[in-house]
Structures are given as structure tokens and as C-alpha cells.
Amino acid sequence: MDSAKLLDHFKNHPHWFAVKECVEVLTKGGFKAYLAGGCVRDAMIGRPINDFDLATDALPEQMQKIFKKSLGHAAHFGVISIPYNDQDGVSFQIEITRFRWDKVYEDGRRPKEIEFSSEKEDAKRRDFSMNSLFFDLVANTVIDFTGGQQDIDLKLIKAVGQPLQRFQEDRLRILRAIRFQSQIGFDIEPRTLLAIQQECKHIQMISKERVFTEVKKTIEGENYLDAFNNMYSSGIFSALFNNMLFSRHPYWEEFKIDYSHIQEKSVESFFALMTIYELKDLDLAFRSEKLKELVSFYKSLKVPSKIIKSVQGLITIYFDFGLHNLIPSIRVFESKHNSLFFNLLNVLGKKDEFIKIREIYKNNLDAYSHLKMPLINGRDCLALEIEPFDIGEVLDQAYEKQLLGLIVDRNESLAFVRKLKESLDRAKPTPSEVEN
């Protein structure tokens, strides 16, 4: 994309007025002011720009002097923010960073020391070449010190400098590379991918909140499948999810196919499918306890409680669903989970049973699109001298016959209950049997 098209792309953003103002203020003060990083990358790719970052040779104290309303929470890292409101009154910020070099990193995440430097050194400290580009609005040119333009043309995610060093400095870059692959569809350059494979065992050092954010964006990306393949082959999935079944051979290929068939790609659907894989081969007696362990694990991963509760609901319905459990299965069709749940059923081989139950459901809708009410109730059972502790089971059996079309009116329902009572009475021990 030539410079004129890039400029048009920038100008189409609703925050452009603020960017233009910041650049004008800096350049009038005698400083350089470049668009930097993701906004330049996205413009070159033709993607919507999320937000704008600027890079400059002005010192933080100089920026704070010329921008009276600036926020200097990260001024010690050479970063200040300029607050604005858009046309709808929604607040946003333009972040401006002094050209710098990150000297020493600590805890595999952030620099302990920085040094203000030139734009060239600033580009060399960044994670990937496609993110190290600058755009000079005064000269209307792209500034490229790392081969980022070529890598964008080649559709490559390539670490700046030595890949191993980049990932050792900041482990989050491992997940960022995978996330970018999912979002923009570029391949990860071979040496960069090899470094990811070598360093992914250290991603436990990253805060769980940041990990979840990156994983969520990866799951929701259009090119998630390529990203998933790299997460599997590099060992990222195993490292993140404690070697859960879906991340192991031979389960992985099956999981990948199943997930690709789910229409609703989301964190919720991903965790639901992952949980089903973990539970599906377990006996009922062990399943409940294992689900509790998984819920506790998901909480430790900082998965939002709303998603965890939704996954729990889906899992409970999934394992209870079927002709063997007809009434709750039919009621699923009026559940808030039904869209994703039906998708899971279809993907995981319960399609035929689903179709049968759906037909039963459709045949039992009343005029208001709700299930027909049961023909009898608890009072009827008491009148027929059904024991109170048997009433729930009796009503369920009668209602199931009604839904199947085997009972069509109240008299037939009462007749069925009388016969059921006779069988229940015969099954009860006699007083002499109790005494013996």
C-alpha cells in the first residue's frame, strides 16, 4: 500500500482529529512525531485500526509541558497519554512514547530499566517486525528499520532480532505471536516458531489475566485453526491447560475437527467442548467430582465466573440429554443455552437423538409456543392415595407418556397413574416381610 492510501486509511478513523492535533503540537515544538506500531501495521494490511500510538524524541517532561492535560502515569517509561472525547462524548486516549531502548528485563514480562534513544533503537526493541514500523506524517513516508514492510508483504510474523531473546525478555510475546496469527492470518516465521517451541514452557510466568486475554482473542480470530495447530505442536496448550485430554495425541485431531464444526466460535464454546472431552469417558460417579476440579482450575486461569457458570450449565445439560431423560431434555429447547448446546449435540454425535426429541418437542407446543401443561398434578396423585415420596416420579412418568403422545387426555393420564400405583403397591414389602 502506498503512502497516500495509508494516509487515507488513517484519516477514516474517528480519532484522527486527535492524532493530527498531537502531531501538530509536537512538530511545532520542534520534535519528531511518528505514528507507531499496530496502527501502521493495520493500515498496511487494510484492517480496521483499533487505536493510535505515537512515538517521539520529546522527553516526558517536555511533552507534559506542551500538553497541559496530559496524564503521566507511566512517564518513568517515557509514556504519557493525552485524553480526548469523540463525537459521542466517549473518552479515549492517544498514547505518546519517547523513543527508547529497553535495557534490562525482569520476571520475563517488563523492562526494569529503559534508556531514551533513537527511533532506530526504538524499532529494534519491539516484538515483531510488522509492529516496528513508523509513519512520518510530515514527510508522508513509512520508516522501516527491521524489514517489517517486506514481512507484511510475505505475510510473516517475524521476531525483531534474535527470536529467543525477544521471548526471554517478555514471555507474553509468545502468546501475542499466536494471537496475531489467528487474527490476521499470517504465518509465523520458522526461526520465530522454533523459539516459541523452546520457550513456551515458561508461559506460566505470565499473569493469568493477560494469558486469558490473549487466549480469548486467539479463539475468536478468523484464522484460529492455524493458531491452534501451533499451540498444539509447540506445547502451549499442554502448558496452559495442564495437559488436558484435548491437547494430547490422539485426542487433538478429533478435538480440532469437532471445534471447527461449531458455528459459534467463542471462549464459552471452546471451554465447553474442552470440558466434555475431559469428562466423556468417565463414569457418572466420577464425573461430578472431576467437573468440580475443572471449575476450580478454570477459576485459577481467571476465566470469568459468568463463562464458567455457563459452561457448567451446558455440561450438565449435555450429559443428561437424551431419550433416557426425556422431560429435562425437551425443556432444553426453551433454555437460554440452546443455540450453542444444539450445536454441540450435532458436532458430538447426538444428532439423531436430538432430532427425535426435537420432534417430540414441536408436537407438544401449545398456542403460546410453550410445552403443553401436564394433564394431572400432585393433588390428583394424593387423591389416588399415591405416597408423597412417589409423587414426583409418578408425575414425570405420566408427563413423559403425554409428551410421547401415548396419553392424550386427563382420563387416560389418571388411568395410567392408577396402574402405576398398583405396580408400586405390589413392589412394596408386606408387614411380615418387614418384620422378618
pLDDT in tens, 286-337: 998 999 999 999 999 999 999 999 898 888 888 888 888 888 888 777 766 5
Give Cβ neighbours of residue 340 (< 8 Å, ≥ 6 apart): 262, 264, 266, 268, 269, 272, 314
Q: Quote the percentage of the chain above a pLDDT of 70.
A: 94
Cα dihedral value 237, 239, 240, 244, nearest 10: 70
Helix or strand or coil: residue 399? helix
**Which of 165-169, 265-269, 324-328 has the lowest average pLDDT?**
324-328
Residue range 10-49, pLDDT digits in tens: 999 999 999 999 999 999 999 999 999 999 999 999 999 9
Which CATH code of 3.30.300.30, 2.40.37.10, 3.40.980.10, 1.10.110.30 fits the domain covering 155-236? Answer: 1.10.110.30
pLDDT in tens, 73-91: 778 888 999 999 988 889 9
206: nearest Cα among 91, 297, 302, 277: 302
Q: What is the mean pLDDT of residues 180-202?
A: 95
413 in Cβ contact with 394 (< 8 Å): no
Q: Which pTM value belongs to this model?
A: 0.81
pLDDT score of 58 more than 60? yes
* Res 357 pLDDT > 90: no
Please state which of the ranges 114-128, 138-152, 343-357 shows the lowest mean pLDDT: 343-357
Average of per-residue pLDDT values in the chain: 88
Q: What is the pLDDT of residue 430?
A: 55
* pLDDT confidence bin for 433, thresholds 50/70/90: very low
pLDDT for the residue 353? 83
Residue 360: its H or E element? helix 351-362
Angle of helix 172-184 relative to helix 224-234, nearest 10 degrees, comes to 150
pLDDT for 131: 96
Q: Which class in CATH covers the domain with range 1-148?
A: alpha beta
